[in-house]
Chain A
Amino acid sequence: MIKLEPRVERSKSWSYLSPVLAILLTLITGYVVFALLGHDPLNALYTLLVAPIADWYGVTELLVMTTPILLCAYGLALCYKASVWNIGAEGQLLIGGVCASAVAVNFVDSTSAFALPLTLLAGIAGGMLWAGLAAFMKLRLNTNEILVTIMLNYIAVNVLLWAVHGPLKDPHGYNFPESALFGDSTLLPVIFDGTRLHLGLAFALLALCATWVFISKTFVGFQIQVLGLDASAAKMAGYKRAFLIAGVLVISGGLAGLAGAGEVAGPIGQLVPQISPGYGYAAIIVAFLGRLHPLGITLAGLLMGLIYMGGEMAQINIGLPNAIIGIFQGLMLFYLLSCDVLIGYRIKLSLPFKQQKTQLTPIAQES
Chain B
Amino acid sequence: MDNKYRLTMQGMTKHYPGCIANDGVTIKIKHGEVHALLGENGAGKSTLMKMLYGVVKPDQGDMFFNGRVMNIKEPADARELGIGMVFQHFSLFETLTVAQNIALALGDLAGHSSSLASRISKTSARYGMPLDPHRLVSTLSTGERQRVEIVRCLLLDIQLLILDEPTSVLTPQEVDALFKTLHSLKKEGCSVLFISHKLHEVIELCDSATILRGGKVSGHCIPKNETSESIARLMVGDSTPISNQTRRARGAGDFLTVNNLSTNAQALFDTPLKNINFAVQQGEIVGIAGVAGNGQEELLKALSGEEIQENSSAIKFKNTVVDALCPLKRRRLGLACVPEDRLGRGAVPDMDLAQNALLTSFDSGLVKNGFLVKQKISQLADKIIKKYKVKTPSNRTHALSLSGGNLQKFIIGREVEQNPQLLVMSHPTWGVDIGAQVAIHEAILTLRDEGCAVLVISEDLDELYKICDRIGAICDGKLSPILDTDCVPLVQLGQWMAGDFNHDLKNNTTQITPQGALA
Contacts and interface: CB of A to CB of B under 8 A. Distances in A.
A232 B345 CA distance: 5
A348 interface: no
Most A CB within 10 A of own CB, among B19, B44, B351, B359: B359
Contacts of A229: 348-351
Interface string B157-184: 0000000110000000000000000000
A220 B350 CA distance: 18
B370 A364 contact: no
A367 B362 CA distance: 36
Interface stretch (A167-175, A235-243, A245-253): A235-243
B17 A236 contact: no
A365 B326 CA distance: 33
A222 B165 contact: no
A306 B431 CA distance: 54
Contact of B339 (A226, A236, A358, A359): A236
Interface string B339-374: 101001111111100010011101000010011100
Contacts, number: 118
Contact of A238 (B17, B330, B347): B330
Nearest to A344: B350
Contact of A359 (B17, B41, B44): B17
A366 B21 contact: yes
A366 B44 contact: yes
Among A10, A219, A365, A366: residue with most chain B CB under 10 A: A366
B317 to A, nearest CB: 15
A238 B326 contact: yes
B371 A9 contact: no
Contact of B371 (A8, A217, A357, A364): A217
Interface in A130-178: none
B355 A364 contact: no
A37 interface: no
Given A237-B360, A238-B305, A363 B195 contact: no
A2 interface: no
Contacts of B346: 233, 236
Contact of B17 (A225, A237, A357): A357
Interface size class of B (residues with CB under 8 A): 35 or more
Contact of A218 (B327, B339, B359, B372): B372
Interface residues of A, number: 31
Contacts of A222: 355, 358, 372
B401 interface: yes
A366 B345 contact: no
A335 B164 CA distance: 44
B350 A360 contact: no
Contact of A236 (B337, B351, B398, B402): B337
A317 interface: no
Given A10-B398, A362-B404, A236 B42 contact: no
Nearest to B344: A230
Interface string A334-367: 0000000000000000000000011111111111
B371 to A, nearest CB: 6
B39 interface: yes
Interface in B385-424: 397-398, 400-406
B41 A226 contact: no
Nearest to A357: B17
A312 B164 CA distance: 66
Given A9-B397, A226-B348, A237 B327 contact: yes
B406 to A, nearest CB: 8
B232 to A, nearest CB: 16
B345 A236 contact: yes
B263 interface: no
B269 interface: no
A279 B253 CA distance: 64
B382 to A, nearest CB: 19
A365 B401 CA distance: 13
B42 A358 contact: no
B450 interface: no
Contacts of B397: 9
B370 A236 contact: no
Contacts of B254: none
Contact of A232 (B42, B46, B195, B341): B341
24 contacts: A9-B401, A10-B350, A218-B372, A219-B367, A219-B371, A222-B358, A230-B350, A233-B348, A235-B306, A236-B345, A236-B346, A238-B326, A238-B329, A240-B326, A358-B16, A361-B16, A363-B42, A365-B42, A366-B21, A366-B42, A366-B47, A367-B43, A367-B46, A367-B88
Interface of A: 8-10, 217-220, 222, 225-226, 229-230, 232-233, 235-240, 357-367
| Pairs of residues from A and B, 5 with the lowest C-beta to C-beta distance, nearest first | A238-B328, A238-B327, A364-B403, A366-B46, A232-B345
